[in-house]
Amino acid sequence: MRNALVFTFLNAVLAHGAPTIDPPGGWRDVTNEGRARNAVIALKGPETSSFLVKAAPLAPMDNPAGVRGYLHDVLAGLRAATKLDYRTTGRVETRVFRNGLKAQLLRATLGGEERVVIALFSVSNAAHLAVLLSAAPEAMLDSLLGALKIGRLEGAIQSRGVARSADGQLELALGGGLRARALLDAEAAKGFVLVIQGSGSEIVFQKLAEADATKPSEQAAIVRELTASSAGVPAAKVGPIAESATPAGPVGIHSWATAASGEKLSVGYLPWGYWGYQLFGRGPAADELMAGVLAALKAGPSAVPGLLASTPRIPIKKEASPRALAFGGLATLGAVILLIWSLRRKNARLSS
């Protein structure tokens, strides 16, 4: 079922293409034991050692002062939770590990000995936080942060030239704020064919087989439903369905919503010949990027012009804006007042 594919994606790939790890010797994976709520990775090491990784969607990755404040807040929370007097110099260092991971590190001591390293880093265009508690944290950094499996994102960003989808059907010129990244293994396995980034946001394209396609008249409702479901909000809080034409001919539709976490999500559908593409976006400019990507999308080398020309147009119901509704209400009220005034003048003339 198409919805099953979508929700698998929302719960897995859009859950930040989370990093994974093979526990080093002496450590065991306790992620599924419920000891750390919402943990992406939770490892238990010798004695009281532990290593925890969580998604950090609110972390200010592009602001050095914000990163420093965020890491200090995490340390303050750790100090309060453990009742231990962890101390830090306040210095935040940048370190690149052997797997290509670039992290911002804050170290803390207990009784004069280093015992904690807190790290902030980005994987799959999403911020993650790691906390390492150990008697010798420096000795474990390469075996833990340096051993995270982070897919093919790191070092696989294309910012110039032309980006093409894995199936050769779609392409667009990069630059002007648009860039492409290589698909993660989990994305490719689920039928995703293209990832475009810009303005701190990301749009991914999932190719739908003909068997998964639905009637054009149903697409707008599906997009609206998926937008509400992905954001976890009522349909009333979903933005209106918008159309965006592509230079290749087909016209995509899309909508957006703000999740309870404050993150903006967008969902779209692009008909293409006798199949189509489901689009998913996240980030502060997810709605604008969706429209911008569609406006730049051209036919790739595998596209057949005849099929593109036969692509159906998705019908959508035009939703009146509040301003238009207000204007319409005033116009109606004005017409009523004019009618009453005319009748009164007519009656006045008859009585005279």
CATH number at residue 272: 2.60.120.1690
pLDDT of 189? 83
Sequence-distant (6+) residues with CB within 8 A of 73 are none
Helix (H) or strand (E) holding 13: none
Q: Are residues 164 and 73 in the same domain?
A: no
Query: What CATH code is carried by the domain that includes residue 65?
Result: 3.40.1000
Does residue 318 form part of some domain?
no
Q: Are residues 45 and 96 in the same domain?
A: yes
Q: Are residues 137 and 162 in the same domain?
A: no
Helix (H) or strand (E) holding 309: helix 305-309
Does residue 340 form part of some domain?
no
Domain of 283?
Answer: 157-309
Which three-class secondary structure string do you get for 88-103? CCCCEEEEECCCCCEE
Q: Are residues 204 and 297 in the same domain?
A: yes
Does residue 327 form part of some domain?
no
Q: Are residues 136 and 190 in the same domain?
A: no
What is the arrangement of strands in the sheet containing 192-198, beginning at the earlier edge strand? 157-158, 179-181, 192-198, 201-208, 275-282, 264-272, 251-258, 242-245
Give the span between the Cα atoms of 115 and 138, in whole angstroms: 9
Q: Answer whether 0.75 is exceeded by the pTM.
A: no
Residue with tokens 């911002």: 104
Q: Are residues 285 and 184 in the same domain?
A: yes
Does residue 322 form part of some domain?
no
Residue with tokens 């750390």: 36
Q: Are residues 205 and 297 in the same domain?
A: yes
Q: Are residues 250 and 223 in the same domain?
A: yes
pLDDT of 156? 65
Residue 91's nearest CA partner among 79, 116, 77, 108 is 108
Q: Are residues 137 and 161 in the same domain?
A: no
Does residue 3 form part of some domain?
no
Tell me which of 147, 170, 197 is where a domain ends.
147
pLDDT of 216? 84
- Please tell me the total count of domains within the chain: 2
- pLDDT tens, N- to C-terminus, the chain (352 residues): 344 334 333 443 344 457 889 999 999 999 888 767 778 899 999 999 999 999 888 888 878 899 999 999 999 999 999 999 999 999 999 998 888 788 999 999 999 999 999 999 988 668 899 999 999 999 999 999 999 987 544 336 788 899 999 999 999 999 988 999 888 777 888 899 999 999 889 999 999 976 566 678 889 999 999 999 989 999 999 999 999 999 999 999 999 999 987 889 999 999 998 889 999 999 999 999 999 999 999 999 999 999 999 999 999 876 544 444 344 444 444 444 444 445 555 555 544 4
Does residue 328 form part of some domain?
no
Q: Are residues 168 and 138 in the same domain?
A: no
Q: Are residues 176 and 272 in the same domain?
A: yes
